Amino acid sequence: MKIAFDAKRAFLNTTGLGNYSRILLNSLMRDFPANDYLLFSPKVDEELRSEIIGTYQLKLPETQFNQAFHSYWRTTGLVKEIAKSKAEVFHGLSNELPYFGNYFFANSCKKIVTIHDLIFLKHKEQYPFFDRSVYEIKTKYAAQKADCIIVPSIETKRELMRFYNVQENKIEVVYQSCSPDFYQEKSELEKQQVIEKFQLPKKFILNVSSFHARKNQLELIKAFGKIKGKVEDKLVLVGNTGATLPIIQSYLAEKKLENDVFILGQVSNKELPAVYQLSSVFVYPSMLEGFGIPILEALFSKIPVVTSAGGCFEEVGGANSSYINPNSADDIADKVLFILNNSKQKEGMITKGIIHAQTMTDKHFAKATMEIYQR
């Protein structure tokens, strides 16, 4: 089978959508090497390219016009190139499809799109008007034109049916995975190198997330302030810059928490598993996600998880994670403190958490997706 992908995020995005794309592509090429894989991208970050492992054909815009106007190439010009490739399946990995119009190719190639979430519709206040409008146009078009929509959670499936009136039989829930780097215990040397590089505290509570309002790190910091005198653990935040980072930094200065809360910034994909494995508990009080991949990373890292109740969080976290009201610093503090002070509870969460995580390996991810292509 010849399968084409809009792989822009795989080659250019370091966070959630990029990780989804790279993990899927690597797993498909490893487990189903007999297929031909065509990866379309407007340009390439060579460091991210090195993380894509397998045999594939990379397709970049060839003409100067398409190189200069690569957004046009991705939405319109790409269709002719897909047609020339004679791909049997095209998979848009990040919420969008090219504009097929009435082009003959629309009847000769199956179109699949992964729609990760509809957060831009539920939290409009967090997106500039122009960005939100573009997201809505692209996502709505993709939902209408796709032969099949892949979603990472039942929660996103419900939202698609609610907001866009998509028929249920058109949507397939495929739980994504995290990088296989999280499956293995890191050596003591690797851990020590990470400790020294980032000057990590001896014990710490961990949060991994970009800094946006819905990620809710400020409530976590308030919760930490309530327990910091009762435990040895500090708080470590890992993430790229974002709109709420200056607010968080101001709050830490105001409450004199700079020596207790560590902001690491960007940590490489190779170093991040060691950071997880060194932590005492992972806390993810996000308000809304399409999947919540850091929860799965923590489970594979054998770390107990505290995350928000409801939505996709309980799908990813399973029955033995601890669930909180993300708007309550008191509830977050109580749940985290209980785990830190109860080793038996912590061990049980770890043991049952890793069993749950095994249902979301990259092999499961690739197999479920390939079955959709084949159908």
Structural domain for 35, as ranges: 2-178+361-374
Same domain as 167, residue 27: yes
- The tally of CA atoms less than 13 A away on the side-chain side of residue 22 is 24
Same domain flag for 247 and 351: yes
Q: Are residues 37 and 52 in the same domain?
A: yes
Half-sphere exposure of 372 (CA within 13 A, CB side): 27
Q: Give the residue among 18, 11, 81 at the shortest CA–CA distance from 43.
A: 11
Q: How far apart are CA 94 and CA 245, in angstroms?
A: 26
Are both 304 and 257 inside the same structural domain? yes
Mean pLDDT (whole number) for 108-116:
93
Q: Work out the mean pLDDT of the chain and round it to a whole number.
A: 92
Q: How confident is the model at residue 75 (pLDDT cuts 50, 70, 90)?
A: confident
What is residue 268's predicted lDDT score, i.e. its pLDDT? 87
Tell whether 129 and 236 lie within a shared domain: no
More confident residue, 106 or 295: 295
- Considering the domain architecture, whether residues 290 and 167 belong to the same structural domain is answered as no
Which pLDDT score is estimated for 103? Answer: 55
pLDDT for 238: 95
Residues 215 and 173 in one domain: no
DSSP labels, 24-93 = HHHHHHHH-TTSEEEEE-S---HHHHTT--S--EEE---SHHHHHTHHHIIIIIHHHHHHHHT-SEEEES
56 and 15, same domain (yes or no): yes
- pLDDT at site 14: 81
State yes or no: pLDDT of 5 exceeds 60. Answer: yes
158 and 207 inside one domain = no
Q: Cβ distance 142 to 97 under 8 Å?
A: yes
Higher pLDDT, 121 or 347: 347
Residue 153 shares a structural domain with residue 244:
no
The CA distance from 317 to 305, in Å, is 7
pLDDT at 146 over 70: yes
pLDDT value of position 166: 95
Same domain, 83 and 201: no
Which of 83, 78, 75, 77 is closest to 105 using CA atoms?
83
101 has a pLDDT exceeding 80: no
Predicted pLDDT of residue 190: 96
Residue 300 has pLDDT above 60, yes or no: yes
Q: Please report, for the domain that includes residue 219, its CATH number.
A: 3.40.50.2000
Please tell me the number of Cα atoms within 13 Å of 235 on its side-chain side.
26
Given a cut of 70, whether residue 102 has pLDDT beyond it is: no
* Tokens 């400020």 found at: 218
- Residues 355, 365, single domain; the answer is no
228-283 per-position pLDDT tens digit = 999 999 999 998 778 899 999 999 999 999 999 999 978 988 999 999 999 999 99
What confidence score (pLDDT) does residue 80 get? Answer: 84
The count of structural domains within the chain is 2
* Alpha carbons 164 and 66: distance in angstroms, whole number: 32
Lookup: tokens for 142: 């993709």
Radius of gyration of the chain (CA): 21
**What are 315-332's pLDDT values in tens digits?**
999 999 999 999 999 999
pLDDT of residue 107: 58
